[in-house]
Amino acid sequence: MQPSYHDFISEPAKRMPRSDIREILRVVEKGNVISLAGGLPDPRVFPLEELEEISREVLLKHGDKALQYSPTRGIRLFREILAEYMGKRGIPVSDPDEIIVTVGSQQAIYLTALTLLNPGDIVVVESPGYLAALNVFKIVRAEMVGIPLDEDGMDTNILEDKLRSLSSQGRKPKLLYTVPTAQNPSGVTMSMERRKHLLELASQYDFLIVEDDPYSYFLYEPVDFKPLKQMDKEGRVIYLSTASKILAPGLRLGWAIGPREIIDYMELAKQNMDLHTPSLSQYIAGEAFRRGIIDKNIPRIVSLYKEKRDVMLKALEEYFPEGSKWVKPIGGFFTFVYLPRGVDTKKLLPEAVDRGVAYVPGRNFFPHGGGENTLRLNFSFPPAEKIEEGIRILGKLFKEKLA
């Protein structure tokens, strides 16, 4: 008799939230669909020739180490290179032991949550916020409090009101998760004034901040901002970043920078999860940082994505239903659209895919539900002409449904 497998699955496994980003990726990989869904870099920005040369050299000169097991916290040499690079970007690192190297920044999010959150602890998130982080907070059974965004990022006045009302019930958040620069999904950037306000609130109400920063390396407009980590006087910010957008996501390399004591616990969690981040990726990326390949690549990334962003914004103006709203993202991979009420983007996704276009329904990004009429659109991956075509097809579909 074949066992009934479902009965063997653990309760935590059954509770695992599904990521629409990853599920849609599977669908679009199969067919001939224009994907405005997953946040994939344009493969044209991968520095292939340089990586080929580096990989060969790494294997020849350091093969004994690059193919060997390595420390859980990350290879010391790579963490030294990262510390220097981060320092140049205004992220202070006084000791490479303040860094842990992770399998993408996704793992850094997970390790932070595992290390800091008990079931029922309050975590403040952006609404809309990064879907895969919200899912992690669900897994650890934290209580999410979503704070709305406007064009200046998370509204810290609303946050202050919320903190005050929680405090009157004898409660406070333990953690706040934000993507302050070129946010995923909405493309907005937190103003300097709000950054200062946020840090003051963290001090006053005694919580920690996770600053997730994959996108600040390549901005399409001049923006006045400093990383929260740089402005942090009390050691409240854990800073996360990644090589995924500036080098290549297939290397699966991210890192967290934070107080040693917290990083120690993250290391312990990682020991039990996967022993360490692939050594080969760390050697290759380390050389790419050291030789300036990433810095050289950034202007190319900016010009390519800026052009595509502009194509998308123009197409949205031209084809989307009247009454739709979106932001002009100053960085990142996405724009987020609010359609007029009456369109359910989740229900319409199969029809959109049948017509040849995929997107991510916006409701996934709202921690407390809502957002049925919203969608996230990626412009980094598709070729410019496909962006135009995709937006035209979607605009027609939404207009038909609203008629």
Output the residue with the shortest Cβ distance to ligand PMP: 104
SS3 state of residue 100: strand
388 binds ligand PMP, rule: CB under 6 A:
no
Q: What residues from 12 to 41 belong to the interface with ligand G9A (CB under 6 A)? A: 21-22, 25, 38-39
104 binds ligand PMP, rule: CB under 6 A:
yes
Residues 6+ positions from 53 with CB-CB distance below 8 Å? none
Amino acid, res. 154: M
181 binds ligand G9A, rule: CB under 6 A:
no
CA torsion angle 244 50 79 228 (round to 10): -40
CA torsion angle 192 194 196 200 (round to 10): 180
Min dist CB 281 to ligand PMP, Å, is: 12
Min dist CB 248 to ligand G9A, Å, is: 13
106 binds ligand PMP, rule: CB under 6 A:
yes
Question: What would the two tokens of residue 332 be?
Answer: 């990142």
Output b/e per residue, 32-48; b: 16+ Cβ within 10 A: ebbbbbbbbbbeebbbe
Min dist CB 74 to ligand G9A, Å, is: 21
Total Cβ atoms within 10 A of residue 50: 18
The nearer residue to ligand G9A, 201 or 360, going by C-beta atoms, is 360
184 binds ligand PMP, rule: CB under 6 A:
yes
Q: Which of 70, 72, 105, 216 binds ligand PMP (CB under 6 A)?
A: 105
Q: Which of 244, 281, 373, 380 binds ligand PMP (CB under 6 A)?
A: 244
Contact 135, 301 (CB under 8 A): no
Q: Which of 86, 179, 202, 238 binds ligand PMP (CB under 6 A)?
A: 179
Q: Which of 115, 216, 242, 364 binds ligand PMP (CB under 6 A)?
A: 242
The nearer residue to ligand G9A, 130 or 319, going by C-beta atoms, is 130
SS3 state of residue 343: coil
Tokens 């999860």 map to which residue?
273
216 binds ligand G9A, rule: CB under 6 A:
no
Q: Which of 70, 181, 184, 241 binds ligand G9A (CB under 6 A)?
A: 184
Q: Which of 110, 130, 305, 381 binds ligand PMP (CB under 6 A)?
A: 130
Break the chain down into helix, strand, coil percent, rounded to 5: 50, 15, 35
Cis amide bond preceding 180, omega within 30: no
The dihedral of CA 45, 50, 52, 56: what is its sign? negative
Q: Binding partner of residue 22 among ligand PMP, ligand G9A, none, CB under 5 to 8 Å per kind?
A: ligand G9A
Q: What residues from 37 to 66 belong to the interface with ligand G9A (CB under 6 A)? A: 38-39
Residues 6+ positions from 241 with CB-CB distance below 8 Å? 86, 105, 212, 213, 214, 254, 255, 257
Interacting residues toward ligand PMP by CB under 6 A: 39, 104-106, 130, 179, 184, 212, 214, 242, 244, 249, 254
Chain residues binding ligand G9A by CB under 6 A are 21-22, 25, 38-39, 184
